[in-house]
Amino acid sequence: MVDVADVIVVGGGVIGLTTAVTLAERGLRVRVWSRDPAGATTSAVAGALWWPYRIEPAERVGAWSLETLAVYEELAAGPGGTGVRLVAGVHGGERFAALGPWAAKLKGAVEAAEGLRVTLPLLDMPVHLAWLEQRLVATGGAVERRAVAGFAEAAERAPVVVNCTGLGARELVPDAGVRAVRGQLVVVENPGITEWFTEADPASVATTYFFPQPAGLVLGGTAEADDERREPDAGTAREIVARCARVRPEIAGARVLGHRVGLRPVREGGVRIEAEALPGGGRLVHNYGHGGAGVTVAWGCARAAATLVG
């Protein structure tokens, strides 16, 4: 365990761990304080396809996403360890004209009759989160299971505190603009599907997607604002399976392996990356409000936050 820290990162999801690794690899002594093990965070529930979906501010998200994409393309060389694979699939109904300038940088993306066909990073989140923790420890950092009631507690132990608390920022900052958006998934035995598929309806809480993961085919999903139920809803699960089966009929008969529910930390105004002074001379750097796209912008946002740490 590291006894002295230059930086304490509060929050141990994908944003917190990626930020901690970025800082540690810049030579800083870093500790992560996380209430939950990485496998119990919202990040662990994510379907985890790289794609800048429902995330603001638009003028910054493209650059953060492309920075992160470049890292994942490198990590995909060792999928067994990193949890990152490059997998082909289709964004149903999507067209380049509806996307931002970042889309022009996608390698090999083509418009097809069914939508935009492209090969993208797909992350096995439990494996990836464990890999991030191991990479942090290998660089001299540490992860401590610890809940905090305020950032002053961390500021007593390090001159810089980085806030990567996601939904927790609502109370800790406090930031009334942070709200939960509930996402429910179903995991089924994969009937032989090797490509992912998504089809989003921005006007609806229901989306249709399936991602072939090592532990099963992940089906989704929902985006229910201000709904903080953490238990899966049986009716919603049936609807998810039915929607996915309309795209691939073999899904209808697939054995259900489990259900997942996660609360996305969406923030009015989008991602917040900025610094402020703490009483006593400490520095607080914020990096939260990523909604359901934390995986997509993790490395870009980590580097932006690391610049503010100095």
Residue ranges per domain, the chain? 7-309
Binding site members for D-dopa = 209, 264, 292
pLDDT in tens, the chain (310 residues): 446 899 999 999 999 999 999 999 999 999 999 999 888 888 988 889 999 988 999 999 999 999 999 999 999 999 999 999 999 999 999 999 999 999 999 999 999 999 999 999 999 999 999 999 999 999 999 999 999 999 999 999 999 999 999 999 999 999 999 999 999 999 999 999 999 999 987 667 789 999 999 999 999 999 999 999 999 999 999 999 999 999 999 999 999 999 999 999 999 999 999 999 998 889 999 999 999 999 999 999 999 999 999 8
Neighbours of 87 (CB within 10 A): 17
Domain 7-309 belongs in CATH node 3.40.50.720: yes
Q: Which one, of 269, 255, 264, 268, lies nearest residue 291 by Cα?
A: 264
Binding site members for FAD = 42-43, 148, 165, 291-296
CB 186 within 8 Å of CB 257: no
Residue owning tokens 């990040």: 43
CB 305 within 8 Å of CB 162: yes
Binding site members = 42-43, 148, 165, 209, 264, 291-296
65: Cα within 13 Å, side-chain hemisphere: 28
Write down the pLDDT at residue 285. 98
Residues 6+ apart with CB under 8 A from 168: 11, 35
Coil, strand or helix at 216? strand
Write down the pLDDT at residue 41. 87
Alpha carbons 294 and 296: distance in angstroms, whole number: 5
Alpha carbons 153 and 284: distance in angstroms, whole number: 12
Write down the pLDDT at residue 202. 67
What CA–CA distances, in Å, run from 55 to 65, 129, 224, 245? 10, 21, 15, 28
Alpha carbons 95 and 280: distance in angstroms, whole number: 52
Write down the pLDDT at residue 87. 98
Write down the pLDDT at residue 53. 86
Query: Directed axis angle between helix 14-24 and helix 125-138, to 10°?
Result: 30
SS percent in the chain: helix, strand, coil, step 5 = 35, 30, 35
170: Cα within 13 Å, side-chain hemisphere: 16
DSSP string covering 59-128: HHHHHHHHHHHHHHHHHTTSHHHH-EEEEEEEEET--GGGS-GGGGG-TT-EEETTEEEEEEEEE-HHHH
Alpha carbons 304 and 37: distance in angstroms, whole number: 25
Alpha helices in 139-233 (DSSP H): 151-155, 169-172
What CA–CA distances, in Å, run from 290 to 28, 52, 210, 298? 25, 10, 22, 9
